[in-house]
Structure 1
């Protein structure tokens, strides 16, 4: 598949095109099963950030405020929430934030938190093993620490500092990364999860307070569900992409895709190959094939094919001058395996690596610079670091994107544009 088509399909599946998903990728089609095929899914005009999180299953969110912008920008501008509205959903528990899939923060929906954390815990614990041992987070200290944390949140929401103080009273003196790893352990054991903010501080709540009871899934079923939901908002993607995003092994990812194909009929399918062949029937999916062979959700592909295009459309689907200001860990970037050639500028000789500022300035789905938002009280600054000169159309789109960030932040934004750093 040509990179231009891959970008177009992924931008659409990611809800960054198509008026924030107004074309309804994932609408029910042949073989559709459950909500992941679009059942009970609201129209784009009625969707909320919580709906986006539920469709995406897990949304990487280390950078707290930028990650909220990443949700908001996927909704149509007519009903796009500002940062106060998104923060209120998090405070209310409609969106939860915890360590899951990999040792990093993600937004998750309450309906998915229980089974998804349960699926992830063993593997994330294994990844953290060296850090646990280095901090002494094992044996009696671990058992006592979990009991203290559980007792604290049973009495109300607690900040990290309050948990640290309670642990110290029990003779456990931890700080920095060691404290963070004990708290992450408690998250993975489904003792705690995110609570509402108290001023600038975020709190932890008892897991069962914020997460409703739900049926436990066995590992194979949970992995198939993970693969199905992954493709709903990130297809086309490969087994290697799924393994990188989820933190599971390549063998797990291959089997999960095969099981997702089996349980959805012809909705989850693999493309005919990586050479641009048309999508084909899933047939006997199996778990073999190349790790880089592309899979897709056929209902998303059908919606992409039917998207509004052309000069008369309100928003041409593949506008090459369209600027997107994405947060550093946006799913359009982090949802796929390196080297992520679809992000590369034409003619780039080397893979793009992280640099400061972290956040990605995209033009037509290609990384063409960096940007950074800084909020201080009732004022904000947006720093733009382009890698090349922008055309007039691109400058207009860049300014419109900055205006959208300003509307989201709800405070006046001063813009600082640096000189071109690359040619």
Structure 2
């Protein structure tokens, strides 16, 4: 088995080249979590992994609370399901709070104010109320809490399990009380949570290494090894160049081919969920898919390899699409990308107005 096979199998495991999940909620549950600081992109990360699932169906799942957006792994916004949100937050809370305390100390943020903020949020959101970010900021300012506390207050309240993102209000997301939005779920020991996370990650993102897992979850290597050891009976692995790659049972026997052309959104899991991206992209192109401050661009994949970027603009009468390949593409492959991006247009339920290669 070669590194190119790792790329092929990852696309299969991540539901990109073969779709077995039937609903947005089932897909997010299978994946464990989907990175979601770019909210529109995260919605297409779901749509790209499902058949015949337009944007409005993903929005419906979010507005019904079947999918929830909050801060979890690495302190970034993620999409998760109600069944997973509490144990996932509990698993990473202490480490994130430790990191946050260090940042607050440097910036001179007074953590003593948080209990007061939490009380205000509980009172304002009680009874099914939802507030947009601007409304939360106005609430805090009304009680003489400055805007410098806004970002950290929301993050802290989420880690405490007080709030999460609720249904959309127009094009704006809202905040709501977690206990009112999500039914109670069982809690797990740290060891059990690590086991569940390891099984979920390697099944949905494998083949991957322990280093990939620690990077994805923001946990220590010791914690990653604890989870992997417990999950091993339900996983397979292969060794390439003295490195062990772990994945779900049966994946290594999968013969699914890779589509000639694929387009995936910014911050897609196929790009962000690994420390080592070499199976998916040539070394000389690695720096092109993200900015120096960690913003991941939408990507083009040629036979499973990241080969360029693409952009979309929503114009008055449709989509304006442009491709920026890193490599020379024959006419037939350009045609394949033009066909591939039709899936995005169908997801958005908008026609493609213009399409160009830069």
Q: TM-score range by the shorter chain?
A: over 0.9
The CA deviation at 1:373 is 2.0
| Farther-moved stretch of structure 1 (356-365 vs 381-390) | 356-365
Q: CA deviation at 1:135?
A: 5.0
1:342 aligned partner: 279
**Secondary structure at 2:73 match in 1:** coil
2:303 match: 364
User: Structure 1 stretches of 5 or more lacking a match?
Assistant: 22-43, 276-289, 308-316
- Give, in whole Å, the separation in 2 of the partners of 1:170 and 1:57: 38
Query: Aligned-pair distance for 1:250?
Result: 1.4
Return the TM-score normalized by structure 1. 0.79
Shift of 1:174: 1.6
Farther off after superposition, 143-152 or 197-206 = 143-152
1:179 aligns with 2:155: no
How has the CA–CA distance of structure 1 residues 376 and 163 changed in structure 2, closer, same or farther, with 3 Å as cutoff?
Answer: farther
2:135: which partner in 1? Answer: 162
8 A contact 1:361–1:367 mirrored in 2: yes
Query: 1:206 deviation in Å?
Result: 0.4
Do 1:357 and 1:370's aligned partners in 2 also have CA atoms closer than 8 Å?
no
Deviations 1:214-247 (A, max 9, x none): 1111111101100001112111111101000000
Supply the distance in 2 between the matched residues of 1:153 and 1:382 (Cα, whole angstroms). Answer: 41
Answer yes or no: is 1:326 the counterpart of 2:264.
yes
Structure 1 residue 376, shift from structure 2 partner: 4.6
What SS does structure 1 have at the residue aligned with 2:286? coil
Deviation at 1:92, TM superposition (A): 1.1
Question: Which consecutive unaligned segments of at least 5 residues does structure 2 have?
Answer: none
* 8 Å contact from structure 2 (residues 317, 353) kept in 1: no
Aligned to 1:313: none
Choose the corresponding residue for 1:90, options 57, 62, 65.
62
- Equivalent residue pairs, number: 353
Alignment of 1:7-406 (within 5 A): 7-18=7-18, 20-21=19-20, 44=21, 47-76=22-51, 80-134=52-106, 136-155=108-127, 156-175=129-148, 178-261=149-232, 265=233, 267-271=234-238, 273-275=239-241, 292-302=243-253, 304-305=254-255, 307=256, 317-319=257-259, 322-338=260-276, 340-345=277-282, 348-349=283-284, 351-353=286-288, 354-355=290-291, 358-376=297-315, 379-406=318-345
Q: Paired residue for 1:28?
A: none
Q: Is the 8 A contact 1:137 1:182 kept in 2?
A: no
Q: Work out whether residues 224 and 257 of structure 1, in 8 Å CA contact, stay in contact via their aligned partners in 2.
A: yes
Cα pair 1:344 1:352 within 8 Å, conserved: no
C-alpha distance in 1 between matches for 2:90 and 2:110? 20
Partners of 2:7 and 2:70 in 1: how far apart? 29
How well do the aligned residues superpose, as a CA RMSD in angstroms? Answer: 2.0
Query: TM-score normalised to the size of structure 2?
Result: 0.92
State the shift of 1:416 in Å.
4.3
SS at match of 1:373: strand
Change (3 A) 1:103 1:209: same
Q: Distance in 1 between matches of 2:82 and 2:314?
A: 29
- Aligned residues of 2:236 and 2:250 also touching (Cα < 8 A): no
In the TM superposition, what whole-angstrom CA distance separates every residue of 1:174-205 from its partner, at most 9, and x where no partner exists?
24xx4122101111110001111111211011
Q: Deviations over 1:52-84 (max 9, x none)?
A: 1001111111111121111111113xxx21111
CA contact (8 A) 1:384 1:415 kept: no
In the TM superposition, what whole-angstrom CA distance separates every residue of 1:269-316 from its partner, at most 9, and x where no partner exists?
432x223xxxxxxxxxxxxxx8x42112223334x24x4xxxxxxxxx
Q: Is contact 1:357–1:371 with CA below 8 Å preserved after alignment?
A: no
Q: Is the 8 A contact 2:2 2:240 kept in 1?
A: no
Contact 2:262 2:341 in 1 (8 A): no
Three-state SS of the structure 2 residue aligned to 1:352 is helix
Alpha-carbon distance between aligned partners in 2 of 1:136 and 1:144, rounded to the nearest angstrom: 18
Deviation at residue 102 of structure 1 after TM alignment: 1.3
Deviations 1:13-63 (A, max 9, x none): 011113x23xxxxxxxxxxxxxxxxxxxxxx4xx11110100111111111
Cα distance 1:376–1:202, how it changes in 2: closer, same or farther (>3 A)? Answer: farther
